[in-house]
């Protein structure tokens, strides 16, 4: 007898169009006509009478079918999204480069109440699901308490003159506790955010929202985004294509004949992947072997100099040394505009990485350093598989409780699967600690921006650690590049920009600008 599931998520994601381009459909056609006009064409010109509107629609259809979609990038839509799961944000909203988001942080905002997504489940499965989420929420609170003595001890080592009973420092200690405690929270936990995309990205959302690993929630979310824009401009989706069913995606076709639930060889895959990393969490697996030479050549070519007048070392120094290149110490990132700094696009690196779901959710915000993130359901194993933060590792009581919590989560995930719950829904119980195994690639320009910011001791600890590993590996291969890879305070010191630490009250308490990469270490 087939199991009956509920029809939808409870609660469903909430979507509201907060800001939008005026007349986006007319504007797209006006911009297209301007390309071939002796004067600027305005939105009002393409909608002034029946003849203009007929021509407008003909042009709109033609450019859409032909793939001339840059005209659709002009219009932007800003959505306020609430009650969306962290899983859907990671799997879909932030899995591509063409967006801007500002979402609530689990590092700095305590998670309270029953703020989590419940997928459509039958009664028995729903009971197990909700009990597991409740256990995770309770573990979140308890883990923060268990970590508190270690956090206070480490904090006092850095700030021995602070009265830890002071309300201001109590708040700092609490934030550090919840930053680590969040590792036990399920990826079903809700977030709220502003999410801004262009018109062409919204059309892409509509076409390809039914994807692994959160297809049902993603479809609900995108349908509501589309409905909001249709209310704003009923014409905008006039020639939009229907949503491509999950069954027609190449990822789905690959698994034809296999179970869509679990990967029977996930354990072997994970063993092979983790072995390839050795003792690293981020391994440099590919790079342009002539990175320094090409970088130096490109600097000379920008400046019109030959090798006799400007050596490789001098050329690299001019672009990488913040003492000479003032762009690098600017608060506003201007590297894509500077003629010298654009030479940094030529060196290129690929890293194989293993970091937690919660760390990767922050890391993927570096949109110009894209990664090929996995179909998470194909990594799921019966054995608990999770990242252990350093603070938990050095706190025995917290570590024991953390392991117990992870075993409970995995046991209940497989209870759901044994009830024939779709793996997509069971995945919502995975904790933030779940490892994400993938490759990530980018240019020196984009990695430089990421590395400099994330080598700051206030950065999320896992991302800080991956950036430290990555910059050390690059430095070993390309020392003339690597000698300028360090935390933002050290970069500002080289440029003689004061204060060296730009974080103000958030100063980590350690004069990192006096250290080299090999001296970088932290617990908090």
The CA-atom distances, in angstroms, between 184 and each of 148, 213, 298, 409 are 16, 20, 48, 9
- Residues 6+ positions from 332 with CB-CB distance below 8 Å: none
- Predicted local confidence at residue 293, as pLDDT: 98
* Nearest one of 363, 401, 362, 409 to 385, comparing CA atoms: 409
Give the DSSP letter of residue 107. Answer: T
**CA 115, CA 134: separation in Å to the nearest integer?**
10
Residues 6+ apart with CB under 8 A from 330: none
pLDDT at 1: 33
For residue 6, the model assigns a pLDDT of 54
**Cα dihedral sign for 226, 231, 236, 240?**
positive
| Domains in the chain: boundaries | 14-105+189-254, 123-188+390-430
Residues 6 or more apart from 345 whose CB is under 8 A from it? 443, 444, 445
**Domain 14-105+189-254 bears CATH identifier 3.30.1360.170:** yes
* Residues 140, 144, 147, 151, CA torsion sign: positive
Taking the C-alpha atoms of residue 191 and residue 209, their distance in angstroms, rounded to an integer, is 19
Q: 484: Cβ–Cβ under 8 A, 6 or more apart, which residues?
A: 320, 321, 322, 491, 494
| Largest distance between two CA atoms of the chain | 82
* Distance set, CA 220 to CA 15, 226, 239, 361 (Å): 10, 10, 21, 21
3-state secondary structure 35-88: CCCCCCCCHHHHHCCHHHHHHHHHHHHHHHHHCCHHHHHCCEEEEEEEEEEHHH
- The Cα 345–Cα 355 span in angstroms is 26
CA–CA separation, 428 and 411 (whole Å): 14
The Cα 21–Cα 148 span in angstroms is: 48
pTM: 0.95
Task: Using the structure block, give the residue that is written with the tokens 């617990």.
Answer: 523
The string of DSSP codes covering 415-454 is HHHHTT--HHHHGGG-BTT-EEEEEEEEEHHHHHHHHHHH
Rg (CA), the chain: 25
Question: Tell me, what's the pLDDT at 281?
Answer: 98
Sequential pLDDT tens for the chain (524 residues)? 333 445 678 899 999 999 999 999 999 999 999 999 999 999 999 999 999 999 999 999 999 999 999 999 999 999 999 999 999 999 999 999 999 999 999 988 999 877 999 999 999 999 999 999 999 999 999 999 999 999 999 999 999 999 888 888 898 899 999 999 999 999 999 999 999 999 999 999 999 999 999 999 999 999 999 999 999 999 999 999 999 999 999 999 998 877 667 899 999 999 999 999 999 999 999 999 999 999 999 999 999 999 999 999 999 999 999 999 999 988 899 999 999 999 999 999 999 999 999 999 999 999 999 999 999 999 999 999 999 999 999 999 999 999 999 999 999 999 999 999 999 999 999 999 999 999 999 999 999 999 999 999 999 999 999 999 999 999 999 999 999 999 999 999 999 989 999 888 889 999 999 999 999 999 99
How far from chain centre, in Å, is Cα 450? Answer: 12
In the structure encoding, which two tokens stand for residue 172, read together? 């700092």
Residue 7: its pLDDT value, please?
61
Specify the 3-state DSSP secondary structure of 160: coil
Please name which of 125, 129, 117 lies closest in space to residue 4, comparing C-alpha atoms: 125
342, 335 in Cβ contact below 8 A?
yes
What is the residue whose two structure tokens read 């390839």? 276
pLDDT at residue 5, as a whole number:
44
- The Cβ-side half-sphere exposure at 163, using a 13 Å CA radius, reads 4
Phi, psi of 402 (to 5 degrees): -60, -45
pLDDT at 8: 76
């Amino acid at each position: 007898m087939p199991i009956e599931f509920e029809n939808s998520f409870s609660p469903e994601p909430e979507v509201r169009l907060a800001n939008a381009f005026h007349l986006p459909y007319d504007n797209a056609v006006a911009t297209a006509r301007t390309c071939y006009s002796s004067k600027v064409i305005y939105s009002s010109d393409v909608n002034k009478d029946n003849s203009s509107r007929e021509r407008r629609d003909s042009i709109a259809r033609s450019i859409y079918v032909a793939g001339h979609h840059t005209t659709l990038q002009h219009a932007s839509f800003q959505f306020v999204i609430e009650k969306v799961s962290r899983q859907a944000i990671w799997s879909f909203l932030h899995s591509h480069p063409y967006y801007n988001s500002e979402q609530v942080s689990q590092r700095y905002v305590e998670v309270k109440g029953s703020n989590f997504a419940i997928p459509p489940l039958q009664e028995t499965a729903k009971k197990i699901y909700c009990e597991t989420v409740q256990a995770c929420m309770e573990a979140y609170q308890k883990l923060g308490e268990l970590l508190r003595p270690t956090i206070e001890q480490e904090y006092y080592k850095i700030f021995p003159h602070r009265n830890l009973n002071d309300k201001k420092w109590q708040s700092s200690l609490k934030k550090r506790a919840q930053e680590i405690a969040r590792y036990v929270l399920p990826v079903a936990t809700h977030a709220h955010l502003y999410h801004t995309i262009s018109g062409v990205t919204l059309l892409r959302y509509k076409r390809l929202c039914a994807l692994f690993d959160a297809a049902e929630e993603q479809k609900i979310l995108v349908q509501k985004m589309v409905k909001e824009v249709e209310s704003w401009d009923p014409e905008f989706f006039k020639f939009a294509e229907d949503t491509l069913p999950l069954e027609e995606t190449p990822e789905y076709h690959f698994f034809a004949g296999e179970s869509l639930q679990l990967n029977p060889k996930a354990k072997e895959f994970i063993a092979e992947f983790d072995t390839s990393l050795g003792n690293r969490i981020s391994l440099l697996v590919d790079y342009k072997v002539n990175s320094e030479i090409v970088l130096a050549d490109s600097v000379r070519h920008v400046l019109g100099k030959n090798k006799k007048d400007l050596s490789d070392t001098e050329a690299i120094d001019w672009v990488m040394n913040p003492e000479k290149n003032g762009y690098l110490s600017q608060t506003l990132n201007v590297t894509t505009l500077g003629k010298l700094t654009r030479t940094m696009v030529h060196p290129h690196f690929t890293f194989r990485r293993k970091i937690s779901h919660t760390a990767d959710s922050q890391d993927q915000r570096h949109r110009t350093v894209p990664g090929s993130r996995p179909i998470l359901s194909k990594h799921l194993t019966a054995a608990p598989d999770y990242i252990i933060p350093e603070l938990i590792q050095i706190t025995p009581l917290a570590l024991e409780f953390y392991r117990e919590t992870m075993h409970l989560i995995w046991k209940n995930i497989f209870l759901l699967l044994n009830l024939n719950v779709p793996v997509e829904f069971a995945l919502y119980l995975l904790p933030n600690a779940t490892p994400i195994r993938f490759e990530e690639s980018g240019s020196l320009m984009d990695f430089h921006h990421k590395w400099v910011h994330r080598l700051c001791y206030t950065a999320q600890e896992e991302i800080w650690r991956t950036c430290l590993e990555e910059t050390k590996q690059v430095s070993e291969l390309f020392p003339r590049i690597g000698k300028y890879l360090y935390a933002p305070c050290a970069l500002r010191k080289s440029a003689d920009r004061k204060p060296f630490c730009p974080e103000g009250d958030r100063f980590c308490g350690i004069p990192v600008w006096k250290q080299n990469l090999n001296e970088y270490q932290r617990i908090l």
